[in-house]
Amino acid sequence: MPYTPILATLGYVLSPDRRRVLMIHRNARAGDHHLGKYNGLGGKLENDEDVIAGMRREIREEAGIECDELQLRGTISWPGFGKHGEDWFGFLFVVTRFSGTPLQANAEGALEWVDVEKILDLPLWEGDKQFLPLVFDTDPRPFHGVMPYRDGHMLGWNFSRT
């Protein structure tokens, strides 16, 4: 059976000094699959856009800023991650330069600057604690991982770098 995941982007906007990252605290919508958790910015790709265009659009929609420089840090396949067990495949970026002033909130929740070194202390998806160190490390090689989920819980994690 072919693998037909939902394609998505997930971006982490760094402050100009690169010590803080802009996160969304998903606290605005009852019934949100991510309610109460912190997450990067992003969402589903549209059928007429490449991953860079999709990442830029999502950051613009969710934070009100323009991505001037961004770097692909990795990809992750999340079989079974969706609210109803859907498979997701994400392209993860770090935004190293942006223009504009970030919004304070959007329809999904509050936007907050968080110290990069304290990101793992936040209420996150359990799997985020596995891949976030790779997003922010100094290894220039992108990582490519698989992280299956069932019923909202991570079942495993493996990755490679090229």
pLDDT, average across residues 3-21: 97
Q: What is the pLDDT of residue 31?
A: 76
Could you tell me the CATH number of the domain that includes residue 137? 3.90.79.10
Does the residue 43 lie in any domain? yes
* pLDDT tens-digit map of 27-59: 877 776 777 899 999 999 999 999 999 999 999
In a domain, 122, yes or no: yes
Residue 101, in any domain of the structure: yes
As a whole number, mean pLDDT of residues 130-159 equals: 96
Domain that holds residue 104: 6-161
Is position 1 within any domain?
no
Structure-block tokens of residue 74: 């990795």
Strand partners, 9: 43, 91
Residue 34's contacts (CB-CB under 8 Å, 6 or more residues apart) are: 26, 108, 125
Residue with tokens 């770090």: 94
The whole-number pLDDT of residue 27 equals 87
Q: For residue 133, is pLDDT > 80?
A: yes
Q: 100 or 152: which carries more pLDDT confidence?
A: 100
pLDDT at 36: 83
pTM for this model (two decimals): 0.94
Q: According to the model, what pLDDT value does residue 83 have?
A: 84
Domain count, the chain: 1
Flag whether pLDDT at 67 surpasses 90: yes
Q: What is the mean pLDDT of residues 148-155?
A: 92
Q: Are 106 and 140 in contact (CB under 8 A)?
A: no
Whether residue 14 lies inside any domain: the answer is yes
Mean of per-residue pLDDT scores for the chain: 95
